[in-house]
Amino acid sequence: MSAVRPSATDLAALHGAVLDWYAVNSRPLPWREPSCSPWGVLLSEVMSQQTPLGRVEPIWRQWMERWPTPAQLAAESPGEVVRAWGRLGYPRRALRLHEAAVVITERHDGEVPRHEADLRALPGIGDYTAAAVAAFAFGDRSVVVDTNVRRVQARAVSGVAQAAPSMTRAEVALAADLLPVDDEDAATWNVAVMELGALVCTARSPRCDDCPVVGRCAWVLGGRPAYDGPPRRGQKWHGTDRQVRGVIVQALRESPGPVLREALAPGRDEQQVDRCLAGLVEDGLVEPVGDEHFGLPGVEEVAG
């Protein structure tokens, strides 16, 4: 994918169009409120990974009410944290958040660190999340690149229908080139481009007529050529180990105590259940309790 950096004039026009659109059309999410703490921003970013925001918001509110600071989450048992994760998916994220809360409490006096390097050093926090927290919690001029940003860049600047299957260095460099110079504008630009990709410049049915940059979009001006890159394969779900792992964890969430192994995923292939249980135990999401019982981390032994 090739891209030519817009001229200073074009870049200023691009910034103005997107930022003005965002000021009117952004969704009123609680972690975007100026009063939201850096901890609240960090929670939202981890919870939102590969998860629709409509599912994230109620769980985020529950967590912020129950554990409004890292120290309060760190004091909770890992099992209860996994239970409170609900159906957000990828429950290892809950454990990593708990581990991050412990590190923040022990090494950063209970305050979310503001520098990207310190954020990246937290358990489960990668480049994207560190950059997002630096931008959205602290207003830093960091480069935040997610799937939506990549798609908007691909169309508006590079003139192709979709971004590459995996993020490239060129995409990150382009995102850095497109950042406004002003720190506050840069932080807003990051979230504005994400919002544009989520609401208008969508993957399957882009609403080009509603796009604030349709008149300067390289893809539209080029006749909206079809995607001709490597094939994109959808993720299979039904019958996969990931689905069975989810069934097991959900059964443990819904139980007040340990569950007999046979009751965790009835009707599933025994070898698959054993394989998934072994993986969950290795990941720290499930613990063996007594003979043939399993529970969330920190559960008590089976009585009698």
Round to whole Å and give the CA distance between 95 and 286. Answer: 11
Q: What is the pLDDT of residues 192-237, one digit of tens each?
A: 999 999 999 999 999 999 999 999 999 999 999 987 776 656 557 6
pLDDT of residue 208: 97
Burial 3-22 (b: 16+ CB within 10 A, else e): beebeeeebeebbebbbebb
**Which of the pair, 274 or 48, is modelled with greater confidence?**
48
Closest by CA position to 108, among listed 69, 55, 54, 143: 69
Instruction: Give the C-alpha distances (Å, rounded to integers) separating 154 from 56, 157, 208, 255.
Output: 27, 6, 14, 46
| Active-site option among 33, 45, 65, 184 | 45
| CATH 1.10.1670.10 boundaries in the chain | 8-26+144-221
Amino acid at 96: R
Q: Let me know if 301 is a catalytic residue.
A: no
pLDDT tens digits for 20-39?
A: 999 999 999 999 999 999 99
Using the predicted structure, report yes or no on whether residue 288 has a pLDDT greater than 70: yes
Distance CA 151, CA 203 (A): 7
Report the mean per-residue pLDDT for the chain. Answer: 90
Chain region(s) in the chain for CATH 1.10.10: 241-295
CATH 1.10.3720.10, domain 8-26+144-221, yes or no: no
Strand order, beta sheet including 259-260: 259-260, 293-295, 287-288
- At 141-151, the pLDDT tens digits run 999 999 999 99
Helix-strand-coil percent breakdown of the chain, rounded to 5?
Answer: 55, 0, 40
What confidence tens digit (pLDDT) does each residue in 115-124 have? 999 999 999 9
In this predicted structure, what is the pLDDT of residue 303? 47
Q: How far apart are the first and last CA of the chain?
A: 64
Asked whether the beta carbons of 96 and 124 are under 8 A apart, the reply is: yes
The yes/no answer on whether domain 30-138 falls in CATH 1.10.340.30 is yes
Please state which CATH number belongs to domain 241-295.
1.10.10
Residue 231: its pLDDT value, please? 63
Residue extent(s) of CATH 1.10.340.30 domains in the chain:
30-138
pLDDT digits (tens, 9 = 90+) for 140-193: 999 999 999 999 999 999 999 999 888 899 999 999 999 999 999 999 999 999
282: Cβ–Cβ under 8 A, 6 or more apart, which residues?
none
- Enumerate residues 6+ apart whose C-beta is below 8 A from 157: 3, 4, 5, 6, 174, 178, 218
Burial of 58 (0-12, 13-18, 19+ CB in 10 A): exposed
Determine if the pTM surpasses 0.85: no
The angle subtended at Cα 252 by Cα 250 and Cα 253, nearest 5°, is 65
For the packed helices 127-138 and 183-199, what is the interaxial angle rounded to 10 degrees? 120
